[in-house]
């Protein structure tokens, strides 16, 4: 007993101060292939913080709701044999001015306008490329959020409509036709999301000013639409619409949804529209790649 | 902090880089041990190009190894071990410092929980307190520079490339930043390559220097050696007042006296046994107060200018 | 003080922006030669310079150059040169065209303008580049064009705001040469810079601005001597530091002695007694001094000591006065 006490008494007082500062890193590293997800995730988070996103998401509900009500009424009347099939409503939702096309355009404008321009202005290229991040990973991370958002904003309401229509089918045959609608919706949605999302990001890589990019994109989309409509009306030929993205989307939509053209509507052959849209997307990607190569990482 | 068998910091062998007809790097062959090195040179000498080569961002002729990695084959692995603090603004709009550092760490390969921990530790180290939770857009120049340093350090690099780190800082800010950089090698064990026009900064932080001129290496070695005047009996003297008086008195004793950089440059006669004593005695006899007396070494700036001019003449010959 | 001191004069000048006062009751006089204008960020340096150049009007008090008020005084402005900090952009002109044009704006006739422009650009090492467009210039070259336009019309008073940014060491040497030459010729040159060792290299006259007021003015070393709170440090490299310490320890002007490898550091509040005493003691004790330096007798130290003191609550009112060197 006393020996233990003596031991305790004889023990030296002990204390330690812990090193609080910088420590070397000895942990593991994540695999390189998945880095684009980081960029994508971060960009999506940052875009989602901006107020206009909420505005667009809310706005896109209205055409959907209105269209839903109209579709409901029309479906009932169709079932009663008193009105034509409400099939085309989904198509109209995509492409008419009162539908989601403008909303989709605005979403692309806000989500994509600053995508690369903001990075150029704030000097983010050294931040990314002095690290183990490839230009491709960066590109994917920057392209996917605007495309995804445009897709959601246009396909969301349309999908609701398509499903509602399918649910309101009057009989088996009608249901079979109606069930194709969701797939057609996704089809046109993809085309529209690409046709709007990719060019705006490509434009974003050409300037440091987000406002310039947005102005240019607006001009690219709206001017040919307006001028094309005017001249098509005047000349009664569909070719003035050759530069109008909206006209081409309309064309492709007509084809996918098998909706016949209206009386005085003049349209280019579908393959022309498909070719122009493909050229637009591919050309934008090429431009993007070239611009990224030339971005300075080191130097003032 | 010793690590077992450090590889040499970098080894370059006959590097050439051409942009069309412009020959940016002409046969760079360099070898450097781990440590703090200054990268110096006039504008257009090839410093930026060399840094790009070191980051594996350029194709070039010749072979280059940094930290033991081949720059061409293992570029991405290399960049995970290198931190770069660029000269101009470098941040993402709309983020705060913590988010930026976490993002930076994750992009360099750290898993999320470690990234969060290290971000805070590094921001603390760089002196960003509660400010770290505010958006970087609103930071002062000094705070932006600290964030730039933090994002370069967060993934524990073995080599830190610093490009004009004191740009735009007021004198106290510059002092703090340089003190921070000076403390890095001891604290983190990393090597530093400092590219700057402010040779005073380089002198304070680095022990070695690489001097580039028109794509070629003009000097590679210690700063100490670069600054050696080459004349043993040259001294710089400053007195509180009475420069002219001292000059005359020293000349009377056989010294050669010039004025340079606000001080007197005194060449004592070769036979003098105790040169400093001579100068002190003469000053005391005249009733003058010596406030500064030391063997004259070139400032790094003069050494730089001399080396470049020598290279120019060598090239012209 | 004779009239030569008054090339630049402000009398109770003040300028505020809303609630923020940038320049607060500043009265100063600057004479010929080179003066360094220093201060932390946000201290009011740029505002003060703009007041002196005539870009801003003082809301109180007067700002005079060469005896006349500078505000709205076109004739006087011709005798003033100004190199601002920010970058202008006349990308499509060549360097020569820009400087010539600005010379003419200063009232010099066409032929003379071009001649002076060529001359100044050549002195700043831009002889080859002067006929190329400014869009192709590097940062250092643009800086030198800015300087050329400030100096080419041979002004009597010149203001240079951060003149050496972006200049590589070779360019810096050239610029400093030209600035020194101007000072020697009797012009009044005011140089504002954050890079203190650059200022030290060209002048020992300074003006320190802090929180909108003049904190210190005059010769750097004289100001240093007036800072009581921080004793002078003297570092003596010698062969036997402890021997030297033994010889000095009894002196009452020695505050503190410290030891480093191969050197002795001495702290003193009475530099005038201490500096001569050290070599004396060394010779008596048979110690050989290899170097004697004052690590904190420089601009950085003066700057730090003065601004840190001012930031503490309850700091005293103006204690420092322009002392004789």
Q: Which of B43, B284, B289 sits opposite C272 (nearest CB)?
A: B289
| Token pair of B61 as six digits | 């002729």
What proportions of chain A, in percent to the nearest 5, are helix, strand and coil? 75, 0, 25
Domain assignment of residue A209, yes or no:
yes
User: How are beta strands B36-40 and B61-66 bridged, if at all?
Assistant: unpaired
Q: Which of C170, C197, C279 sits opposite B200 (nearest CB)?
A: C197
Rounded CA separation B17/B301 (Å): 28
The answer to whether residues C294 and C234 touch, using CB atoms and an 8 Å cutoff, is: yes
> C1 falls in which pLDDT band (50, 70, 90)?
very low
| Radius of gyration, CA atoms only, chain C | 23
pLDDT of residue A143: 93
Which residues 6+ apart lie within 8 Å of A171 measured at CB? none
Q: Which residue of B has its CA nearest to C306?
A: B172
Rounded CA separation B235/B265 (Å): 6
User: How are beta strands B216-222 and B263-267 bridged, if at all?
Assistant: unpaired
The verdict on A24 touching B (C-beta cutoff 8 Å) is: yes
pLDDT of residue C113: 86
Domain assignment of residue A279, yes or no:
yes
The verdict on B172 touching C (C-beta cutoff 8 Å) is: yes
Compute how many other C-beta atoms are within 10 angstroms of the C-beta atom of residue A102. 16
Interface test with chain B among A23, A115, A130, by most B beta carbons within 10 Å: A130
* Of B49, B65, B66, residue with least CA distance to B57: B49
The verdict on C281 touching B (C-beta cutoff 8 Å) is: no
The answer to whether residues B118 and B111 touch, using CB atoms and an 8 Å cutoff, is: no
Interface test with chain A among B104, B108, B162, B163, by most A beta carbons within 10 Å: B108
Over 70: is that where the pLDDT of C228 sits? yes
CB contact under 8 A, A22 and B188: yes
Rounded CA separation A147/C100 (Å): 53
| Chain B closest-CA separation from residue A186 CA (Å) | 33
Which of 65-84 (C) contact B at CB < 8 A? none
CB contact under 8 A, C171 and B42: yes
User: How are beta strands B61-66 and B10-19 bridged, if at all?
Assistant: antiparallel
CB contact under 8 A, B274 and C288: yes
Mapped onto helix, strand or coil, the DSSP state of residue B146 is helix
The answer to whether residues B277 and C283 touch, using CB atoms and an 8 Å cutoff, is: yes
| CATH classification for the domain delimited by B232-316, as one of 1.10.3470, 3.30.70, 1.50.10, 2.60.40 | 3.30.70
**Partners of residue B51 in chain A, C-beta under 8 Å:** 298
Count of B-C CB contacts under 8 Å: 112
The answer to whether residues A164 and A68 touch, using CB atoms and an 8 Å cutoff, is: yes
Rounded CA separation C225/C275 (Å): 13
Question: Which superfamily does B10-227 belong to?
Answer: P-loop containing nucleotide triphosphate hydrolases (3.40.50.300)
pLDDT of residue B153: 94
Query: In Å, how far are A234, B56, B262, B309, C195 from C201, measured between CA atoms?
Result: 76, 39, 7, 21, 11
CB contact under 8 A, B292 and C293: yes
> Tell me: the pLDDT tens digits for C230-271?
889 999 999 999 999 999 999 999 999 999 989 999 999 999
Interface test with chain C among B163, B177, B197, by most C beta carbons within 10 Å: B197
Q: Which of C279, C288, C297 sits opposite B284 (nearest CB)?
A: C279
Rounded CA separation C106/C79 (Å): 8
The answer to whether residues B91 and B144 touch, using CB atoms and an 8 Å cutoff, is: yes
Alpha helices in chain B (DSSP H): 47-54, 75-80, 97-107, 112-125, 141-153, 171-188, 199-205, 223-227, 243-252, 275-286, 300-316
Sites in chain B below the pLDDT cut of 50: 1, 317
The verdict on B43 touching C (C-beta cutoff 8 Å) is: yes
> C35 falls in which pLDDT band (50, 70, 90)?
very high
pLDDT of residue B307: 84
pLDDT of residue B6: 63
* Chain centre distance of CA C136: 31
pLDDT of residue C5: 59
Rounded CA separation B262/C196 (Å): 15
> C116 falls in which pLDDT band (50, 70, 90)?
confident
CB contact under 8 A, B291 and C294: yes
| Token pair of B178 as six digits | 């340089």
| Token pair of C319 as six digits | 């204690």
| Chain A closest-CA separation from residue B244 CA (Å) | 46
| Count of positions (residues) in chain B | 317
Burial of B20 (0-12, 13-18, 19+ CB in 10 A): exposed
Walk along chain A (300 residues) in steps of 10 and give the mean pLDDT of each run. Answer: 60 79 82 85 85 84 83 78 72 77 90 88 89 90 92 87 75 74 88 94 91 93 90 82 86 82 75 91 94 80
Rounded CA separation A90/A159 (Å): 8
**Partners of residue A39 in chain B, C-beta under 8 Å:** 107
CB contact under 8 A, C325 and B241: yes
pTM: 0.82
Which residues 6+ apart lie within 8 Å of C16 measured at CB? C22, C23, C59
CB contact under 8 A, B89 and A123: yes
Rounded CA separation B103/B96 (Å): 11
Helix (DSSP H) and strand (DSSP E) numbers for chain B: 11, 14
Which residues 6+ apart lie within 8 Å of C7 measured at CB? C30, C31, C32, C65, C66, C156, C157, C188
Phi, psi at C200, each rounded to 5°: -60, -30
| Chain C closest-CA separation from residue B176 CA (Å) | 11
Q: What is the mean pLDDT of residues C115-137?
A: 86
Touching partners of B (3+ C-beta pairs < 8 Å): A, C
Q: What is the DSSP string of B288-305?
A: --EEEEEE----HHHHHH
The answer to whether residues B158 and B6 touch, using CB atoms and an 8 Å cutoff, is: no
The verdict on C221 touching B (C-beta cutoff 8 Å) is: yes
Q: Which of B141, B290, B308 sits opposite C279 (nearest CB)?
A: B290
Q: Which residue of B has its CA nearest to A135?
A: B57
> Tell me: the pLDDT tens digits for B220-260?
999 888 887 666 678 999 998 888 899 999 999 888 898 87
The verdict on C275 touching B (C-beta cutoff 8 Å) is: yes
Rounded CA separation C227/C239 (Å): 31
**Partners of residue B199 in chain C, C-beta under 8 Å:** 169
Q: Which domain holds residue A246?
A: 43-293
Q: Which residue of A has its CA nearest to B196?
A: A299
CB contact under 8 A, B174 and C194: yes
- Would you kindly state where each structural domain of chain B is located, as residue ranges? 10-227, 232-316
Which residue has better confidence, C280 or A270?
Answer: C280
| Token pair of C181 as six digits | 């030459």
Mapped onto helix, strand or coil, the DSSP state of residue B45 is coil
Which of 31-60 (A) contact B at CB < 8 A? 32, 35, 38-39, 42, 46, 49
Q: Which of C200, C288, C307 sits opposite B172 (nearest CB)?
A: C307
The verdict on C292 touching B (C-beta cutoff 8 Å) is: yes
**DSSP label of B52:** H
Touching partners of A (3+ C-beta pairs < 8 Å): B
């Amino acid at each position: 007993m006393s020996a233990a006490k003596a031991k305790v008494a004889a023990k030296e007082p002990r204390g330690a101060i812990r090193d609080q500062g910088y420590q070397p890193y000895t942990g593991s590293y994540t695999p390189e292939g998945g880095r684009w997800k980081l960029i994508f995730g971060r960009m999506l988070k940052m875009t989602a913080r901006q107020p206009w996103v909420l505005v667009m998401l809310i706005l896109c509900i209205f055409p959907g709701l209105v269209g839903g009500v109209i579709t409901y009424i029309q479906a009932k009347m169709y079932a009663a044999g008193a009105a034509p099939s409400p099939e085309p409503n989904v198509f109209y939702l995509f492409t008419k001015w009162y539908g989601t096309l403008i909303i989709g355009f605005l979403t692309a404008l806000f989500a994509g306008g600053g995508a690369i321009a903001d990075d150029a202005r704030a000097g983010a290229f050294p931040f990314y490329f002095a690290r183990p991040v490839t230009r491709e990973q960066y590109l994917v991370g920057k392209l996917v959020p605007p495309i995804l958002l445009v897709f959601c904003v246009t396909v969301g309401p349309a999908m609701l409509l398509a499903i509602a229509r399918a649910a309101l089918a009057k009989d088996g045959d009608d249901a079979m036709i109606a069930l194709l609608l969701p797939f057609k919706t996704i089809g046109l949605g993809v085309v529209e999301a690409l046709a709007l999302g990719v060019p705006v990001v490509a434009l974003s890589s050409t300037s440091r000013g987000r406002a310039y990019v947005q102005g240019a994109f607006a001009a690219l989309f709206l001017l040919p639409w307006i001028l094309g409509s005017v001249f098509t009306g005047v000349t009664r030929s569909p070719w003035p619409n050759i530069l109008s993205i909206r006209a081409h989307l309309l064309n492709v939509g007509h084809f996918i949804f098998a909706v016949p053209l209206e009386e005085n509507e003049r349209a280019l052959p579908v393959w022309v529209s498909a070719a122009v849209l493909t050229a637009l997307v591919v050309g934008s990607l090429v431009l993007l790649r070239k611009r990224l190569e030339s971005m300075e990482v080191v130097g003032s | 902090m010793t690590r077992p068998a450090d590889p040499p910091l970098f080894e370059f062998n006959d590097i050439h880089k051409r942009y069309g007809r412009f020959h940016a790097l002409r046969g760079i062959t360099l070898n450097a041990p781990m440590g703090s090195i200054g990268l110096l040179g006039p504008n257009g000498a090839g410093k930026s190009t060399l840094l790009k080569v070191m980051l594996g961002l350029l194709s070039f002729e010749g072979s280059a190894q940094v930290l033991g990695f081949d720059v061409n084959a293992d570029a991405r692995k290399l960049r995970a071990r290198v931190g770069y603090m660029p000269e101009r603004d470098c941040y993402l709009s709309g983020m705060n410092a913590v988010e930026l550092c976490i993002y930076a760490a994750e992009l360099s390969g750290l898993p999320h929980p470690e990234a969060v921990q290290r971000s805070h530790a590094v921001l603390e180290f760089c002196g960003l307190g509660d400010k770290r939770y505010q958006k970087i857009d609103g930071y002062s120049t000094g705070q932006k520079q600290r964030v730039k340093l933090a994002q370069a350090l967060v993934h524990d690099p073995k080599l830190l490339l610093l490009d004009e780190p004191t740009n735009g800082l007021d004198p106290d800010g510059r002092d703090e930043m340089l003190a921070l950089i000076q403390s890095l090698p001891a604290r983190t064990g990393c090597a530093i390559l400092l590219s700057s026009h402010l040779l005073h900064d380089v002198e304070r932080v680095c022990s070695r220097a690489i001097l580039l001129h028109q794509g070629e290496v003009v000097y590679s070695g210690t700063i100490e050696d670069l600054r050696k005047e080459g004349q043993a009996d040259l001294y710089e003297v400053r007195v509180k007042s009475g420069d002219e008086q001292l000059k005359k008195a020293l000349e009377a004793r056989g010294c050669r006296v010039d004025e340079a950089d606000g001080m007197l440059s005194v060449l004592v006669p070769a036979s003098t046994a105790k040169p400093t004593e001579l100068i002190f005695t003469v000053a005391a006899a005249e009733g003058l107060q010596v406030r500064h007396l030391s063997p004259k070494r070139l400032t790094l700036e003069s050494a730089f200018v001399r080396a470049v001019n020598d290279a120019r003449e060598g090239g012209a010959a | 003080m004779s009239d030569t001191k008054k090339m630049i004069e402000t009398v109770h000048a003040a300028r505020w922006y809303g609630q923020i006062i940038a320049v607060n009751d500043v009265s100063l006089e600057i004479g010929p030669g080179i003066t360094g204008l220093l201060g932390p960020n946000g201290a009011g340096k740029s505002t003060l310079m703009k007041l002196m150049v005539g870009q801003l009007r003082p809301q109180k008090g007067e700002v005079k150059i060469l005896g006349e008020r500078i505000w709205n005084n076109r004739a006087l402005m011709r005798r003033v040169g100004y190199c601002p900090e920010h970058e202008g952009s006349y990308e499509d002109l060549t360097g020569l065209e820009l400087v010539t044009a600005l010379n003419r704006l200063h009232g010099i006739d066409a032929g003379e303008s071009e001649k002076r422009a060529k001359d100044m650009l050549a002195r700043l090492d831009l002889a080859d580049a002067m006929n190329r467009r400014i869009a192709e210039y590097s940062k250092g070259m643009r800086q030198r064009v800015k300087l050329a336009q400030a100096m080419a019309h041979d002004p009597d008073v010149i203001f240079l705001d951060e003149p050496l940014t972006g200049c590589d060491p070779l360019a810096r040497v050239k610029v400093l040469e030209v600035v020194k030459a101007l000072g020697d010729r009797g012009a009044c040159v005011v140089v504002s810079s954050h890079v203190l060792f650059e200022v030290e290299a060209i002048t020992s006259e300074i003006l320190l601005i802090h929180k909108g007021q003049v904190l210190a003015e005059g010769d750097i070393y004289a100001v240093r001597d007036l800072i009581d709170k921080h004793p002078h440090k003297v570092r003596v490299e010698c062969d036997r530091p402890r021997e030297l310490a033994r010889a000095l320890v009894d002196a009452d002007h020695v505050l503190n002695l410290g030891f480093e490898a191969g050197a002795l550091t001495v702290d003193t509040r009475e530099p005038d007694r201490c500096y001569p005493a050290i070599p004396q003691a060394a010779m008596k004790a048979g110690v050989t001094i290899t170097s004697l330096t004052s690590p904190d007798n420089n601009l950085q130290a003066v700057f730090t000591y003065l601004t840190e003191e001012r930031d503490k609550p309850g700091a005293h009112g103006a204690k420092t006065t322009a002392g004789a060197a």
